[in-house]
Structure 1
Amino acid sequence: MSKGGNRYYNGPVSDHFDGVRFFNPGGTPPRGLAHLLRWQFGGKRVRWPGRYDSPFLEVRPELSVDGDRLRVTMVGHATLLVQVAGLNILTDPVWSHRASPFAFAGPQRRNAPGIHMDDLPPIDVVLVTHNHYDHLDLETLGTLHAEHAPHVITPLGNDTIIRRAAPDAEISVVDWGDRIDTGDGIIIHAEPCHHWSARGTRDRRMALWAAFVIETPAGKIYHIGDTGFHGGINYRAARDKHGPFRLANLPFGCYEPRWFMESQHQNPEEAVMGMLACGAGHVAGHHWGTFRLTDEGIEEPLRALEAALDKAGIEPSRFRPLRPGEVFDVPAGAG
C-alpha cells in the first residue's frame, strides 16, 4: 500500500485525484453504507427468471474485419467484441458465471456468453473500464492472457489488480486525456465518465474509471462501460474533442431505484440523450439482461428504451439493445 493509503495507485494530486482517492469533478460521490442497506432491504426488487436465454445462437466470429466495416458482437452484459480495421477488441471481458468475488454467491448469469471463449478470434486489445466485478473479472483476464496475450488498456490503478491474474501481461495504464497508439492508424483515448470503483469495502475510489474513444480509419467509436448521465457534461466534451461518432457503446440498464443509482448508472432515457449529445450515428446498447444488479425487471430497459427513442424521434434501428450472440454490422457514417 502506498504512503497515502491507496493500495492500487501512488501518483500526483490532480483535478480528479486527491492523493488517495479518485473523484468526479463537480459530480456526486457514491452513496454510503446506510443508503445501501436502505436500498437492499427496501423490498422493491422485481423478480427475474432463473434463465433469460438469448434468441441468438452462440456465434463463431470472423477472424478479422477490414476496410470500412465495423462489427460488434455481444458476449453479455458489458462484454463486446469490436472488430474494425483488422483489430479485434474486447471490452470489459467477463465469462465467469458470477459477477462476484465469490464462486458460490453473488449475481449469476441468466444467459450463456454469446461467444464461446474457444471460438474467439485472436484478441489484440482488451479495454477494462473500471474494477467492479461485472467489468473486471480476473479469471477471464487470466485465460485471455494465456491464450491471446492481448494488450490491456485500463485506467490508473487497475493494473495492480489485473497483474494478480496476469503478472507479465502487456498493460498500458491511462489517465483521463491520455492516448495509446496501437499502430495501423488506431488510437485509443481515455476520457472521463461519471462513475466510481471498488472491489471491497475498504478500497472505494482507489482505482480510476474511464470511457474510451477508439479512433480508427473506419470511424470513431465511443465506449462507455458504466456512467451516470451527469447532465451530459462528458458526452458533450467527447463530441467537442473528437467530433461525432460512427458508433457509441452505451449502458442503458441497471438503473433502479433512481434515488440510489442516478449518479452512477444512466437510465434508457438518459442513454438516448447521451447518444444525441455525443453525436453517435448508431448505438450498441449493453449492460442489461445478464446480471441482476438493480431493482428493475429484466425487460423493463427494453420498454423504457422504446419509449425514449419514440419521444426523441429516433429510428429504433439506430440504438440496438444487444442480446448475447447478436451481431451488429454498423452502417458507415457518424451522427
Structure 2
Amino acid sequence: MTDKSARGQKRNPYYQGPISDHFDGTRFFNPDGVGPGTTRSLLKWQFSGNRSRWPKSVASPFSPARPERKIDGDGLRITMIGHASMLIQVAGLNILTDPVWSERVSPLSFIGPRRVVPPGIRFEDLPPIDLVLVSHNHYDHLDLATLKRLQKVHEPHIVTPLGNDTIIRRATPDARIDVMDWGDRIAISNDILIDAEPAHHWSARGTGDRRMALWAAFVISTPAGKIYHVGDTGFHDGINYGAAKEKHGGFRLAILPFGAYEPRWFMKGQHQNPEEAVTGMQLCDAAYVAGHHFATFQLTDEAIDAPVTALKVALQEQKIAPERFRPLRAGEVFDVPKP
C-alpha cells in the first residue's frame, strides 16, 4: 500500500526525504501490510454501540513509586507510569518511553480519552532523565505538554522516528532530538546503542496528516542486555518479531503492548491482542516481557480488565510461566531477572 495517488498532491509538513520501501515521497506505509481504516469504517465502529463501560477512576494496587536515582551493574528495572509510559533504569541511564502525564490524550484538553488511574510516578519524583524514546505521534504516545515539562526540568536527549521532531520542536524548540529511520542506529554512549526497527502501525495528529511521520520500535543494547521496546503495533503475521530476533539475537526484555484491540475487524492492523503479544514474545525470543497499553485510557471497545484476563489464558495455552510476561500496573516496579 503506497498511496501513489497522494504522491505530489499534498506536501508533507513534517518530513521531506527520499522515497524508500516504506515512504512514497509523501506518506509512510507498512510494506506488504495495511494502513488505518477509512473514515467510513471508523464511523461504523464508533456508532456500533459495543463499547464497554469503564469506571471513571481506578486505584492502582501499587502506591506511586519513588525511583532510585540510577541502577548500575547488570540491573534492569522497569517502573510503570501508565499506558505506554515507563521508566527504564539500566546501565546508569534513566529512560522514559512515550511519556504522558497529561489528564487526557487528545488535541483538546477538555475532551477525549481521559486517564482513569493516576501516573505511577509523580512527575516531581522522577530521577534525572537522560533519554526519552517517542515511538510515534498519536496523542497517547506523543504528549507535547509532558515533553515541554521534561525539557524544562531535565533537558533529556529525545529519540524519535522521522518527522516527529518537527512536531516536538513546536513545544520544545531547544530540545536535543535525534531522528531515526527504520534500520538506523545511534550511539548514546560507548556502550549504549539504539536501533530503530519496523512496527506495523500508522500516525496522525489530525485528519489531514495521516502517515506523514514515521512510527517505529526501538532496540536498546546495553551491557546489561538488550531491550526491545514496541510502543504500538499490529501483529502483521509476526514478521517484525522474527526480523528482530534474526537481527538482534533475542532479548533480556521485550516491552510489548497487549491492549486496545477490539473490535478485531477494525483494530487488527494496528493493535495486537494478548494472544498475538504472547506469540510475539516467543518469536522475538524475549526472556521476559513488560506488558503495557491497557487499563489507563479507554481507546477501544474491550472492558478494562479484559486484556489481563485474555493474557492469562494465552500464557496458559502457550505454556509460558506468568511471571515471564508481566502486565504492569501504575506504580509497579519490575526488576527483570538475568536470563
| Distance in 2 of aligned mates of 1:318 and 1:35 | 37
**Are residue 83 (structure 1) and residue 89 (structure 2) matched?**
yes
Q: Report the 3-state secondary structure (helix = DSSP H, G, I; strand = E; otherwise coil) of the residue aligned with 2:65.
A: coil
SS at match of 2:289: strand
- Deviations along 1:260-306, one digit per CA (max 9) or x if unpaired, are 00010000000000000000000000000000000000000011000
Letter paired with 1:253: G
Amino acid at match of 2:72: D
Cα distance in 1 between the residues matched to 2:59 and 2:292: 16
TM-score by structure 2 length?
0.97
Indicate yes or no: 2:176 matched with 1:180: no
- Three-state SS of the structure 2 residue aligned to 1:183 is coil
Residue 134 (structure 2) aligns with: 128
Equivalence for 2:205: 199
The answer to whether the 8 A contact 1:4-1:10 is kept is: no
Q: Which residue of 1 aligns with 2:334?
A: 328
Q: How does 1:134-213 map to 2 (within 5 A)?
A: 134-213=140-219
Per the TM alignment, residue 3 of structure 1 is displaced from its structure 2 partner at its CA by: 9.0
Q: CA deviation at 1:53?
A: 1.5
- Supply the distance in 1 between the matched residues of 2:250 and 2:213 (Cα, whole angstroms): 29
Cα deviation for residue 37 of structure 1 reads: 0.2
Residue type of the alignment partner of 1:317: E
1:209-246 Cα deviation digits (max 9, x unpaired): 00000000000000000000000000000000001100
Local SS of the residue matching 2:165: helix
Report the count of equivalent residues: 332
- The answer on whether the counterparts of 1:235 and 1:277 sit within 8 Å (CA) in structure 2 is yes
CA distance in 2, matches of 1:244, 1:265: 22
Map 1:1-335; keep pairs closer than 5 Å: 5-333=11-339
The whole-number CA distance in structure 1 between the counterparts of 2:97 and 2:104 is 17
Give the fraction of aligned pairs with identical amino acids, expressed as a percent.
67
Q: TM-score, normalization: structure 1?
A: 0.98
2: CA distance between counterparts of 1:198 and 1:140?
18
Listed one character per residue, the Cα deviations across residues 43-76 of structure 1 (whole Å, up to 9, x for unaligned) are: 0001001112201000110000010000000000
- Alpha-carbon shift at residue 184 of structure 1 (Å): 3.9
Residues in 2 aligned to 1:187 and 1:9: alpha-carbon distance in whole angstroms: 24
Task: Please identify runs of 4+ aligned residues in structure 1 that moved more than 3 A.
Answer: none
Q: Decide whether the 8 Å contact of 1:248 with 1:282 is kept in 2.
A: yes
Paired position in structure 1 for 2:4: none
Which runs of 5 or more residues in structure 1 are unaligned?
none
